[in-house]
Chain A
């Protein structure tokens, strides 16, 4: 389990996070919802240790350590493009302290949900489509022993088929870990999230359990005063 406690962060005069406190529970997929530039990535980066907050702390319990956190950034990044799919998967597992055999077992465990991984193991990462790269980078985090996985813009660039695959993968892998998502895909997050948190003016202003899509969009429009259409 993990707790962020009174996290505040500013860039110059712009304060993006104002005293955020929250307990992230094991087994839950928690999604942070907010428009662009609201501090979602900043919060994920603070939890992962990439960014030092101005004040506040991140507490890890049950022998968790900062290195138990794995962050997957937005975009088709997070991979070694000149290496094969299999090399990437093995490497990211091994630098997280796993043995090659353990990584291979985890790949086997999940690969039925992700058929292209089996077919493309010897393919260079750069040869994959955007959606495949995105899924591979998320998959490379899922098959590790990371206790907390944070994914920025989780379903970005994924078509309906891949977004469905990702939902299944996240659900299957969330049993004994904390999963935190930052996303704008309301349809995706309404189906996959256990907890939904709205981030506004640097604060968590509202928290929900699962919300149907129409209600989620309605609340989003009300809170952020935007029109999402139908």
Chain B
């Protein structure tokens, strides 16, 4: 147990040290996510939230939903990028033969990515405050909802990671998922019909919970749904990842990176 925690800690440490030495990646994230958020704020994208949730500060709803989306897309894309990078760099093989479960080591890498993402978010919150005068209220349950949603979305990330191992290049699939999530999970205003279907995605429940909490509405039903869908997606992710890994080991895909 101690050894596993030590390995987990070292995964985070190695990843953060590597990222700090490659600062451009963080700067480019800040630029891209800032530009996108600014575009949404400039175009008044979340205006309809005011009437839907009966909450005047609709920009706050937009910004905080955007944060939840950023964590979700990071947990989906990071793990796939990490695996494809490690397969190309030859470090995946050593991880695979380590004393600890591969999933634990990958989780350490993901956590490091999310920590770096948090730095990007702090910059975005400052930008929202200073540039757009949007102040975000953080409620403990909002943070909890974002954490649960991120764990559930990690399940989708594991499915994509499994596909990365087997099919190698799934960047366009990741891009489609990222953009799709932006438009169907109430990160940006979405039609009621789509919302009723997209509720099976943890990020949708998370976005609804955030808005209900800030608007002072009841959210308990959504919270239960969030926990169930997050657990379901996580289980699905672990299962799919194992299946794809086994298929790749059978076909020899791991050797041909």
Contacts and interface: CB of A to CB of B under 8 A. Distances in A.
A81 B99 CA distance: 22
Nearest to B2: A99
Contacts, number: 99
Contact of B255 (A41, A84, A94): A41
A6 interface: no
Interface residues of B, number: 30
Interface in A88-104: 90-92, 94-97, 99-100
A146 B97 CA distance: 10
Q: Main secondary structure on chain B at its contact with chain A?
A: helix
Contact of B97 (A42, A69, A124): A69
A49 interface: yes
A80 B18 contact: yes
B14 interface: yes
A145 B117 CA distance: 35
Interface in B11-52: 11, 13-14, 17-19, 21-22
A28 interface: no
B257 to A, nearest CB: 9
B97 A49 contact: yes
Given A84-B17, A97-B7, 6 more contacts: A49-B249, A67-B99, A82-B22, A94-B10, A95-B105, A97-B100
Contacts of B105: 95
Interface of A: 11, 41-42, 45, 48-52, 66-67, 69-71, 73, 75, 77-84, 87, 90-92, 94-97, 99-100, 124, 137, 141, 146
Given A71-B97, A83-B18, A96-B98, A52 B89 contact: no
Contacts of A141: 94
Contact of B7 (A75, A78, A94, A146): A94
Contacts of A71: 93-94, 97
A206 to B, nearest CB: 26
Contacts of A77: 89-91
B90 A49 contact: no
Contacts of A49: 96-97, 249
Contact of A50 (B3, B10, B14, B254): B254
